[in-house]
Structure 1
Amino acid sequence: MSNAPIDLNVDAKALGKVAVLLGGISAERPVSLMSGSGVLDALTSLGVDAHAFDPAERPLQALKDEGFERAFIALHGRGGEDGTLQGALEWLGIPYTGSGVTASGVAMDKTMTKRVWAAEGLTTPQYLALGRAELTRERIRAIPDELGLPVIVKPPHEGSSIGITKAAGYSDMQGAVELALGFDDELLFEQCIEGPEVTCAVLGQGDTAVALPVVEIRAEAGNYDFENKYHTDTTQYLFGTLPAALEAEIQQLVLKAYQLLGCRGWGRADLMLRKSDMKPFLLEMNTSPGMTSHSLVPKAAKAVGIAYPQLCLWLLSQARLDRK
């Protein structure tokens, strides 16, 4: 018997003609194509009138012209997860899955997300945000003195670990900055929290949102990069490894983080646990999580009795617009 925390009774036929938005223009296009293909297969298997739609190849106006009634956003990164697509769908009047314009835009900007969380007292690693013009060799060399070593160097508007470096020493900093500047004009430098890496997904909206089980991620050599996320089978995804009280603490922290950003539909927070005391630190919120065979939200949903096709159908049923 399923112990799913959401109502899975959804009439597939009542959802109308559905566009599964996939591909797109971001650096995460290959991942999006995998996610979207999985979602499309799942929805059609349940009788939904679903069709693939790549915004990189077709104008969004075609959604309206061809009578699409809902959109399942399986796009990741810029142009799909950052509020721009959500704004276009608002203008077209086509309900879509996931968070609205503002929440999507804030969550896609890791620096802005951290500012919101820090202002509300939620734990997140210490950080610096610096623009391209500020990144002189002298300034770069001083960053480890402020944050300690190692330092995590990120392009704050990318996902899937693209452009991220864990700089172990001063000599690594310049290369890390140059790599990240290939993706962004402003960089995020973050204190490295050493310890277990975990993730926690959320379904729903507001006070009725529910957190799914916490997943501990154990990647080869502790490096959960793009390759280990999507193209290897050596990464372990473990449930039930944490004490019950700590798991509940993480779930409550993630729910608060999700609600503060105004997220809806679904999302997934990534966190690090400080090994000295297992204190959780929020890293980022994903508002259009991956839906590939390696993805974490489907794994967490399965742990509470929600099969992949049913998860896709439920998410589609939650499609809506910001405007009333």
Structure 2
Amino acid sequence: MSDFLDRKLHIAVLMGGWANEREVSLMSGEGVAKALEERGHRVTRIDMDRQVAARIAEAAPDVVFNALHGVPGEDGTVQGMLDLMGVPYTHSGVATSVIAIDKELTKQALVPHGVPMPGGRIVRSTDLFERDPMPRPYVLKPVNEGSSVGVAIVTDESNFGNPIARGSIGPWQQFEQLLAEPYIRGRELTSAVIDTPDGPRALGVTELVIESGFYDYEHKYTDGVTTHVCPADVPERIARLCEKYAIDSHRILGCRGTSRTDYRWDDELGEDGLFVLETNTQPGMTPLSLVPEQAKQNGVEYGELVEMIVAAALRDHGANSAKDSRGMGNG
């Protein structure tokens, strides 16, 4: 799987920003920056602010490693800016980022191609105070946030009220619209994909074992509250399906560099109980993150993984530049 860069580069690591996931982004970015420096590259760290374009232009890097999480670093905004500047950058481009961060658009893209996802619909938060959008238990989540930010599971036993009380604490206080989905009992699984010169490859399957609650933001980024079982102790057929759906999602959405697809699996239903929840176009690169963990299981150390992501960005930029040059004719 080795995909080493053949020269030393000046790489700007873009991190931080003002999203809910700022602190996680700073951890991801610092880990990436240190790994690149250890491998001989020159690194400029950029904590994103409103002057980010000027700061990138001043640094004049060979490539930007986008270690941002959430909006605006993961939703196509930063990607569009870098495209206009003509600066190569890691991870997915504008169109993919716009679609993948929006859970409803992701369903519209993946389900027609045979990727199983839970049903659901967009609801106005104020309507929740009048009636449930579907039978309980169900899940409410923001349409375009990452890292399970603002997710609530509404059950008959929940303390939100029935119907949900206006004063109860939940995502309805922060977001005007939410995605409502049926709750899927069972197990949390995830599978990462990495781009190689020969195409995308799945890195395996991890199960997230949680003593209580669900795999929310706190469980993802708090040491000791979630156990990672890697590789997951699941039937071979389920593991292969997870890897297939991860690669299918990566390709259909047009992801680049790396992605991570998350699942719920109702093990009482076998293959029919496996559902894709979302595909993350910029998964975390912290010490607790799942992509580096799965890569290591495949013999790929953290520094090599980071270089593979940079190499994918440069390959894609080179291909697009060649395409643009061929398209410039008289007209």
Structure 1-normalised TM-score? 0.89
Partner of residue 150 from structure 1, selected from 137, 153, 162: 137
Say if 1:254 and 1:51 are closer, same or farther in 2 by CA, change over 3 A. same
User: 1:206–1:264: 8 Å Cα contact kept in structure 2?
Assistant: no
Q: Does 1:241 align with 2:250?
A: no
Shift of 1:323: 4.3
Cα distance in structure 2, aligned partners of 1:306 and 1:63: 30
Rounded Cα–Cα distance in structure 1 between residues aligned with 2:215 and 2:128: 29
The answer (yes or no) to whether the contact 1:258–1:267 under 8 Å persists in 2 is yes
Q: 2:155 aligns with which of 157, 164, 168?
A: 168
Aligned partner of residue 142 in structure 1, secondary structure: coil
Aligned residues: 311
Q: Structure 2 matches for 1:15-164, cutoff 5 A?
A: 16-56=9-49, 58-132=51-125, 135=127, 137-138=129-130, 141-143=131-133, 146=134, 148-164=135-151
Is residue 200–residue 247 contact of structure 2 (8 Å, CA) maintained in 1?
yes
> How far is 1:206 from its partner?
10
Provide the rounded CA distance (Å) in 1 between the counterparts of 2:191 and 2:86: 31
In 2, Cα distance between equivalents of 1:82 and 1:220: 32
Contact 1:205 1:263 in 2 (8 A): no
CA contact (8 A) 2:13 2:44 kept: yes
Structure 2: give runs of 5+ residues left out of the alignment.
322-331
Percentage identity across aligned positions? 35
Question: Could you tell me which amino acid in structure 2 is paired with residue 192 of structure 1?
Answer: Y
For residues 208-248 of structure 1, the C-alpha deviation after alignment (integer angstroms, 9 at most, x for no partner) is: 21111100110121422222211231311111411222211
For residue 250 of structure 1, what is the aligned residue in structure 2?
242
1:18 CA drift (Å)? 0.8
- Relative to 1, partners in 2 of residues 1:162 and 1:171: Cα closer, same or farther, differing over 3 Å? same
Does residue 194 (structure 1) correspond to residue 185 (structure 2)? The answer is yes
* Aligned-residue RMSD, C-alpha: 2.2
Counterpart of 1:7? 2
Query: For the residues of structure 1 that align with 2:2 and 2:163, how far apart are their CA atoms?
Result: 49
Contact 2:128 2:163 in 1 (8 A): no
Find the residue that maps to 1:171 and give its secondary structure.
Answer: coil
Q: Are positions 1:306 and 2:293 aligned together?
A: no
Moved over 4 A (4+): 175-178
Distance 1:136 1:189, change over 3 A: closer
**By how many angstroms is 1:131 displaced?**
3.5
Deviation at 1:186, TM superposition (A): 2.1
Code of the aligned partner of 1:301: A
Of 203, 219, 223, which residue of structure 2 is paired with 1:232? 223
Name the stretch that deviates more: 108-117 or 31-40. Answer: 108-117
User: Unaligned stretches of 5+ in structure 1?
Assistant: 1-5
Question: What CA distance in whole angstroms lies between the structure 1 residues aligned with 2:171 and 2:58?
Answer: 39
User: Secondary structure of the residue that 1:60 maps to in structure 2?
Assistant: helix
Aligned equivalent of 1:3: none
Q: Could you tell me how far 1:110 is from its partner in structure 2?
A: 1.0
